[in-house]
Amino acid sequence: MMMIKTLSRWVIETCTKLNWIGPLLVRLIVGGAFVLTGWGKLHGLDGVTEFFTELGIPLPHANAVFVTTVEFVGGLMLIAGLGTRIAAALLIGTMTVALATAIVPRAESLADLFATIELTYLGIFAWLAVHGAGKASLDHLLLSRRGHAVHAVGEAA
C-alpha cells in the first residue's frame, strides 16, 4: 500500500511540474492549423466571399477579410502565446458564427454537431480563454517581468 501511495505522489508531482506542456502543445497545434488555413483563405478571398454569400452572412467580402485575418493573426498569437486570451476570444466568435451559419442548419442530429472540428475548436478556445497560455508563453514572460503573480488555473497563489 505504501508503494502505491509513493508512486501516486511521484506521478502527481511529475505531472504538476510538466503542466506547462499541455497548453503549449494545444497552442502550437491549433495555432499552426489556423495560421495555415487563415493564410490559405487570405489568398483565396473570392472563394470565402462566395461561401459567405451562400450562407447569407451580411457584408460577405468584409466579413471574409475579417474572419480570415482573425484566423491567421490569431493563430500566430496562439503559437507565440502572446495575447492568448484575446486571440482565443476572437476565435470563439469565428467558431460560433461558423457553427450557427454553416454547421447547425445542416446538422440532422446532435451527433452531427459533436462530430465537427468547429465545436472542438470552440471548446479549445474556451479553455485557452479561461486558462491562458501557460508558462511556456510570451504572456507568462511579460506578466512575470512586470512583477505580476502568474499562476496557472488550480495553482495556489
Which positions of the chain have pLDDT values less than 50? 152-157
Distances in Å between the Cα of 50 and the Cα atoms of 6, 53, 59, 77, 95 are 61, 5, 11, 28, 18
Residue 153 lies in a domain: no
- Position 32 in a domain: yes
Nearest to 76 by CA among 39, 127, 108: 39
Widest Cα–Cα separation across the chain: 66
Residue 116 lies in a domain: yes
What is the pLDDT at residue 153? Answer: 46
Q: Does residue 80 sit within a domain?
A: yes
Question: Is 131 within a domain?
Answer: yes
For residue 68, being part of any structural domain is answered with yes
pLDDT (0 to 100) of residue 71: 98
Handedness of CA 81, 69, 30, 152 (dihedral sign): positive
Domain of residue 108 covers 23-145
pTM for the full predicted model: 0.86
The total number of structural domains in the chain stands at 1
Q: What is the CA radius of gyration of the chain?
A: 19
For residue 17, tell me if it sits in a domain.
no
Q: Is residue 5 part of a domain?
A: no
- CA 11/CA 45 separation, integer angstroms: 49
